[in-house]
Amino acid sequence: MKQLFKLPSFNKWMRQNRVTDVSLCEAVEEMSKGLIDAELGAGLVKKRLALSGQGKRGGARILVATNKRERWFFLFGFRKNDRDNISENEKRVWQELASIHLNLSKPELDCALLNHKLLEVKNHEEEV
């Protein structure tokens, strides 16, 4: 069973850019099939995401921590017209954050959800 989570800051970015949980579920299904735009190391991947009224090419990029099986953490998103990419220093920070999230135990994950440090992507099994 796939577990999809997002950081509160990523959720805020989603609202600002009209990205839905359904879009995240679709992105996970694509990534599960190998459609990943860049492997950044330490469980961090980059994926193109279409924004409302735009295609993937000019849309957004998202950074996702994943073990490519059951755990998927949406960490960061940016519009392609706002920035080209992340810097090497940023990449190292996101890799470290990816590693931390991917190594959370079940009790730690439950605590993060309870304390709103992580949010669950809603109804992903019904929507995909």
Kindly report, residue by residue over 88-101, the tens digit of the pLDDT: 999 999 999 999 99
Into how many domains does the chain fold?
A: 1
Q: Is residue 127 part of a domain?
A: no
- Tokens coding 35: 């459609």
Q: Is residue 23 part of a domain?
A: yes
Q: Is residue 79 part of a domain?
A: yes
Confidence of residue 122 (pLDDT cuts 50, 70, 90): confident
Q: Is residue 90 part of a domain?
A: yes
Kindly report, residue by residue over 55-114, the tens digit of the pLDDT: 676 689 999 999 999 999 999 999 988 998 999 999 999 999 999 999 999 999 999 999
Kindly report, residue by residue over 12-26, the tens digit of the pLDDT: 999 999 999 999 999
Residue 128 has pLDDT above 50, yes or no: no
Q: What angle do CA 33, 22, 40 make, to 5 degrees?
A: 45
Q: Is residue 128 part of a domain?
A: no
Q: Is residue 58 part of a domain?
A: yes
Q: Which domain holds residue 24?
A: 3-122
**Per-residue model confidence (pLDDT) at position 81:** 87
Element (H, E) at 90: helix 88-102
